[in-house]
Amino acid sequence: MKPVKVGLFGLGTVGTGVVRIVEGHQEDLQSQVGSPISIAKILVKDRAKARSISIDPAKLTEDPWEIVRDPEIDVIVEVMGGIAETKEYILEALDRGKHVVTANKDLMALHGQEILAKASEKGCDVLYEASVAGGIPIIRTLIEGFSSDRITKIMGIVNGTTNYILTKMSQEGAAYADVLKEAQALGYAEADPTSDVEGLDAARKMTILATLGFRSNVALEDVDVKGISAVTQEDIRYAQSLGYEVKLLGIAERQDDYISVSVQPTMVKKSHPLASVGGVFNAVYVYGEAVGETMFYGPGAGAMPTATSVVADLVAVVKNMKLGVNGRQAALAYKEKKLKTDEQIASKYFLLLHVEDRAGVLAQIAQVFSRHELSIESVMQPAAPDQHGAELIITTHSASKASLANVLAEFGELAAIRTIKSVYRLEG
């Protein structure tokens, strides 16, 4: 029985996991696809490097083109990362009729539609389940499970590092800087944590999910991004006092074919399932017109969860090869992209203001809200942390992003308001 031959790009933690699963689960894999799956060649940076698994040295290469141009190799599995050069390898592999499985969220967020179009043209599969939410099969679910439904909203915790930091801040009262150092020591955060804590990693994942969910070619620059570096213990305490948890949420919404996508720290009602997602776990909440509300939860990263998603895609590719149906499931964007304006984006909001402690201040603030047609839901004045002014917590009814911006701009000119300390979207 002729084996399906795989070229593996990358032998880091995920690549090692892929090798372990493919070699350790051969009997199970063969029962599913009807033939052996063999990792024929592996691209590495250094062939002489010591490794945690036993690999035939003859399979290792430092030349990517040796794999791309090998006529014996049927499928490329890419788990090494990178964008420009990796895209070049994948496009040539597709030109040569090879199928591709990738875990590369950066590549798929920036160039996914171009790669999928090439795959469709060449009758090849490109599967990328592991690029979003690690071991959660959310991409396959959006493509297949919701194929008969119309998705109106995708809301998720799609970055484990920031969720770990916010969970520790919430549960232990720790400061942001201290938890970040701990996350780095544990390997959850990189030495340069910018991509995670400033929301860039989550934005790339939401680009992919929004493109799939709404069938429109959402670009990374369409995502409104704000990270968690400004979240304070004070914010978290006030959120909890109102019955909320602070989470970094990716939110993609569609209404009347107009869409918006954002990543931002958000106060989530404790009764909402996303509020209880702790640590490095991920969860994606999907609203469909027919099915209603569904949530998908699991490990968002890690060698074996991610490798499991990669191998699941590999199995799907091989099954398609046996059936002769490769290249027919590319989820290409076919709808015109219509982005919501700030007047169309609506939400409830939380505001924390430091104001002068004197009569008439609240009336001035209420007048500003009224001028911009933004309705107040509640006002609280907690005990002041010092004797120099007062703090006001204001929650609003649903209002447009434009109205909020106008209110905040006028607050900046109002002498009675010393500082706009925090502004959060409210969900759930």
Query: Cβ–Cβ contacts within 10 Å for residue 405, how many?
Result: 12
Of 41, 98, 205, 247, the catalytic one is 205
C-alpha span between 12 and 79 (Å, rounded):
8
66 CB-near residues (< 8 Å, 6+ apart): 41
Q: C-alpha distances in angstroms, 83 versus 73, 74, 78, 158?
A: 22, 22, 11, 21
Q: Smallest Cα–Cα separation from 285: which of 261, 255, 249, 323?
A: 249
Catalytic: 205? yes
The partner residues of 61 in beta bridges, in order of sequence, read: 43
CB-based contact 8:19 (threshold 8 Å): yes
Question: How many residues are present in the chain?
Answer: 428
Catalytic residues: 205
